[in-house]
Amino acid sequence: MPLIHPALLQSVQPAPTAPAATRAGVPFVPERFLVDEPRELELPDLRDLVAGLAAAEHLWRPLVRHDPRRRWYTRLVLSGAVEVWLIGWCPGQQTDIHDHGGALGALAVAAGVLDEDECGRDWSITRTRQHGTGAVAGFGTDHVHRIVNRGQLRATTIHAYSPPELPLRYAPRQLAPLDQPVPLDRADVSQRAAQSAVVAAGAGAARVTTATPPAAAPFAPRPRAGQPRLTSGMSV
């Protein structure tokens, strides 16, 4: 049975500024995503999902927390097709450099500004992209990155991954010093304008990754439908 955060099930009166589709009662998560059997979604599905949830401020605003001691997150959905996370970022908080084990993913910035350090196959940072409020970013099965809040304000994001619960792999520590960005891609900024310490909240279940990726082979092929799903670390 899919796991759904109670906030998505409660009958909450949307704010007047909420999208018309939300006010009309359209589900936040399409029913076809809430399946038990393994299913792979496509990137447009994930982008639309996180964009819709991020636009529903009346849903995530009461849930999100910003803890200056550690990055906070809670899981909103886990099904055979997708996992969805809500994350609060205080200034200075960041992930390690990591991949997503072959899953497709998307993130939407509900509030604030975050940097994404994109990395090559050798785990080194190749460029930094900035995502501001309202930005939606999608990434493929071989994407490697790090998310950082380098600003002075708090940020909130929503993330989705398919297939769900694939093991993340992290850059070896000696290859991934903390917070060493490359210059921002200003053209990209103008277009998009957007270690695993855990605090679980509500009904969300948190997971911690301890595995270190093999330096010689950082990427895994995308799993085929029907393959077993493995518990992984928190995705970002």
Cross-strand bridge partners of residue 47: none
Question: Over 80: is that where the pLDDT of 231 sits?
Answer: no
Ranges of each domain in the chain: 3-21+28-192
The Cα 25–Cα 234 span in angstroms is 30
Binned at pLDDT 50, 70 and 90, residue 179 comes out as: low
Mean pLDDT within 91-101: 95
CATH of 3-21+28-192, picked from 2.60.120.10, 3.40.50.11540, 3.40.50.2300, 3.30.450.20, is 2.60.120.10
Whole-number pLDDT of residue 16: 54
Whole-number pLDDT of residue 187: 32
Q: Are strands 136-139 and 114-119 parallel, antiparallel or unpaired?
A: unpaired
Whole-number pLDDT of residue 174: 56
Token pair of 162 as six digits: 């398919």
pLDDT in tens, 198-229: 222 333 333 323 233 333 343 333 333 333 33
What is the arrangement of strands in the sheet containing 72-78, beginning at the earlier edge strand?
A: 3-4, 72-78, 83-89, 155-162, 104-111, 136-139
